[in-house]
């Protein structure tokens, strides 16, 4: 079984054939691209991260279901089959008391007989990441305050190659210009701001164009609300 550093899911349950289990989930769920790029051998990196962070959110929301005797557990993966049937992760108590409390059995469709017998109408709901839909849309009326010094010093290796050896004053000017430009662009196209869930809150990713004339953004500025009138930004992703 491969290493799983800091994965809360694997503190909860033992997966004897983890990669095979993930591949099974990919095969029964509606088709998605679960790898970065086009690897020769599928690793399902995106799906593995998705499942881990879904589990964390469900644990926080207390949406992991248990049978009355605690011998079985399940959670809603948030994924569906091609026929839009929900898919659940199903566990039984781990008989090896020196390991994790539960043992992974299978990913089951909602209609699977074992799920219905154990949980009946008490199957858990999907994770909920936001209460206010407005959190998913960048509000151009709010002030955006980026920590430019922090972004530059901690993320300099993520800048385009032609800027990496430039003085910080040049990077600051380029970065501020790119931020001013995207603030104008997002006023007319709110879809430019992509929501993501991170550290138990919603962030918005704003594309930053630092290479002159390039249609491809160089960085994604992660912004988050600190109050109803202000966004902050301390991180730029590649």
Using one digit for the tens of pLDDT, what is the confidence trace for 184-202? 999 989 899 999 988 788 8
Per the listing, tokens 């550093």 go with 5
146 and 114 co-located in one domain? no
* Domain total in the chain: 2
Across residues 135-155, what is the average pLDDT? 91
Domain boundary among 85, 119, 153: 119
Q: What separation, in Å, do the N-terminal and C-terminal C-alpha atoms of the chain show?
A: 30
- The pLDDT of residue 238: 85
114 and 185 co-located in one domain? no
Does a structural domain hold residue 124?
no
- The pLDDT of residue 5: 54
Which pLDDT band holds residue 3 (cuts at 50, 70, 90)?
very low
CA atoms within 13 A on the CB side of 204: 23
Closest residue by Cα to residue 81 from 52, 106, 111: 111
Does residue 4 have a pLDDT over 60? no
181 and 107 co-located in one domain? no
Across residues 81-101, what is the average pLDDT? 94
* Strand 65-66, strand 86-93: pairing: unpaired
Does residue 112 have a pLDDT over 90? yes
Does a structural domain hold residue 2?
no
115 and 151 co-located in one domain? no
CB neighbour list of residue 199: distance below 8 Å, 6 or more residues apart? none
156 and 95 co-located in one domain? no
162 and 224 co-located in one domain? yes
143 and 112 co-located in one domain? no
Element (H, E) at 185: helix 168-188
Does a structural domain hold residue 68?
yes
229 and 191 co-located in one domain? yes
Does a structural domain hold residue 125?
no
Does a structural domain hold residue 114?
yes
Helices 45-60, 18-28: inter-axial angle, 10-degree rounding: 90
Does a structural domain hold residue 36?
yes
Does a structural domain hold residue 214?
yes
Does a structural domain hold residue 30?
yes
Range of the domain at 193: 133-237
110 and 198 co-located in one domain? no
Domain boundary among 119, 141, 168: 119
17 and 45 co-located in one domain? yes
212 and 156 co-located in one domain? yes
Across residues 164-180, what is the average pLDDT? 92
Across residues 77-90, what is the average pLDDT? 96
Cα 43 to Cα 39: distance, rounded to the nearest angstrom? 8
37 and 110 co-located in one domain? yes
Domain boundary among 90, 119, 148: 119
Contact 51, 9 (CB under 8 A): yes
């Amino acid at each position: 079984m491969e290493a799983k550093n800091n994965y809360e899911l694997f503190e909860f349950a033992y997966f004897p054939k983890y990669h095979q289990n993930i591949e099974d989930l990919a095969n029964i769920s509606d088709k998605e691209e679960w790898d970065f790029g086009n690897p020769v051998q599928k690793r399902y990196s995106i799906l593995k991260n998705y499942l881990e962070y879904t589990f964390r959110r469900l644990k926080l929301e207390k949406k992991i279901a248990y049978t009355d005797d605690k011998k079985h557990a399940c959670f809603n993966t948030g994924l569906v089959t091609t026929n839009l049937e929900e898919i659940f992760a199903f566990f039984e108590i781990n008989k090896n008391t020196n390991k994790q409390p539960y043992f992974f059995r299978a990913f089951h469709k909602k209609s699977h007989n074992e799920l219905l017998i154990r949980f009946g109408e008490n199957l858990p709901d999907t994770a909920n990441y936001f209460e206010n839909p407005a959190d998913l849309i960048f509000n151009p009326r709010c002030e955006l305050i980026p920590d430019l010094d922090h972004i530059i010093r901690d993320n300099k290796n993520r800048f385009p190659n032609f800027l990496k050896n430039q003085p910080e004053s040049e990077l600051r000017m380029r970065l501020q210009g790119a931020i001013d430009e995207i603030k104008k662009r997002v006023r007319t196209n709110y879809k430019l701001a992509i929501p993501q869930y991170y550290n138990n809150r919603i962030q918005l990713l704003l594309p930053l164009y630092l290479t002159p004339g390039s249609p491809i953004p160089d960085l994604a500025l992660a912004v988050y609300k600190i109050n109803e009138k202000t966004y902050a930004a301390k991180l730029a992703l590649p």
